[in-house]
Structure 1
Amino acid sequence: MSTTTGTVSATPERVWEVLSDGWLYPLFVVGASRMRDVDDTWPAVGSKLHHSVGTWPLLIDDTTEVLEVDEGSRLLLKARGWPAGEAHVEISLRPDGAATLVTMKEDATAGPGVLVPKPLRDAQIHWRNVEALRRLAFVVEGRTT
């Protein structure tokens, strides 16, 4: 599983506010191009984000589902983007002084992505998640100033 960590200059509560608003995911999830719908119960277990990935006109409609949630500190998601496959993505928050340490753990769980050799897969996921955490920080910090 690829693990990527970044710091957001805001409290975990402020970071969780962004994670709890499913409509904001295309602002920081690399590859997500638009949000089509968000279940009213997001981010409860079983709730889904209905998103599109890719670049117009080559968009794929799929979903991301909450598998586990620890309110305010952790989400385990099943992200789908078929035909590329599925991945489990864990996002956890930990206070770090006045900031928040955000950790993303991700790996392919189904589809062609699991055929990519693990060292190459981990490197690709890591670099994408470095950018995702950078974007998340921009969104959260922009909302708190």
Structure 2
Amino acid sequence: MARNVRVMNCPPEAVFEVLADAWLYPSWVVGASRMRDVDEAWPAEGARLHHSVGTWPLVIDDETRSLEWEPPHRMRLRAKGWPLGEAHVVIDVKPRGDGCVVRIQEEAVEGPGSWVPRFLTEPALRVRNAETLQRLAYLAEGRHRTGQAEAEPVPDAE
């Protein structure tokens, strides 16, 4: 199982705000290129988000299912990325001072990706998930910073 850890300068709740907004999924998940639809119940257990993987014109429509949603501590997903297969992804968040520590673990569980020996797949997954955590940090930390102050009203244009 590939594991990555990152310290983020925001509370765990800010991370879970990003995770709860399924429309942000392609912004932080490396490989996801666009969103097509989101179940109304997202991120509740069993709910799905419908995304595409790849770069145009080689785009594959797929989905990710929520397996566990325990904010602000843990989220578990079953991510599809065919033709490579499916993976279990666990995101654990723990408070640390004014911020938090986020750990992501990913393991191929079905399809061709699960047949390849782990010593070959884990280095690539660690590189990919380091970027995934960096993107998640940008969103969560940015949301936390901008969320602290009330937005000023915009005057009507005359």
TM-score by length of 1: 0.97
Alignment of 1:61-100 (within 5 A): 61-100=61-100
Q: 1 CA distance for matches of 2:14 and 2:85?
A: 31
Q: Give the whole-Å Cα distance in 2 for the aligned partners of 1:71 and 1:15.
A: 9
1:84, CA displacement in angstroms?
1.1
Q: Quick one: distance in 2 between partners of 1:99 and 1:5?
A: 13
Counterpart mapping for 1:1-40 below 5 A: 1-40=1-40
Deviations 1:43-65 (A, max 9, x none): 10000010000001110000000
What amino acid is the match of 1:137? Answer: A
Cα distance between partner residues in 2 of 1:63 and 1:14:
24
Letter in 1 for 2:107: D
Report deviation, 1:71: 2.6
Amino acid at match of 2:66: V
Count of paired positions: 145
1:89-125 Cα shifts (integer Å, max 9, x gaps): 0011100111110000101001110122111111111
Q: How far off is 1:69 after superposition?
A: 1.9
Q: Which amino acid aligns with 2:7?
A: T
One-letter amino acid of the counterpart of residue 48, structure 1: R
Q: Which secondary structure state, in structure 2, belongs to the residue aligned with residue 144 of structure 1?
A: helix
Q: Flag as ranges the 4+ runs of structure 1 deviating above 6 A.
A: none
Q: Over aligned residues, Cα RMSD in angstroms?
A: 0.8
Q: For residue 114 of structure 1, give the secondary structure of its aligned residue in structure 2.
A: helix
Q: Which amino acid aligns with 2:101?
A: L
Q: 1:30-87 deviations in whole A, cap 9, x for unaligned?
A: 0000011111111100000100000011100000001122132111100001111000
Q: Structure 1: 5+ residue runs without aligned partners? A: none
Partner of 1:58: 58
Distance of 1:25 and 1:8 partners within structure 2:
18
SS in 2 for 1:82: coil
TM-score scaled by structure 2? Answer: 0.89
Q: Percent identity?
A: 52
Q: Match of 2:128?
A: 128
Gaps of 5+ in 2: 146-158
Match of 1:20, as an amino acid?
A
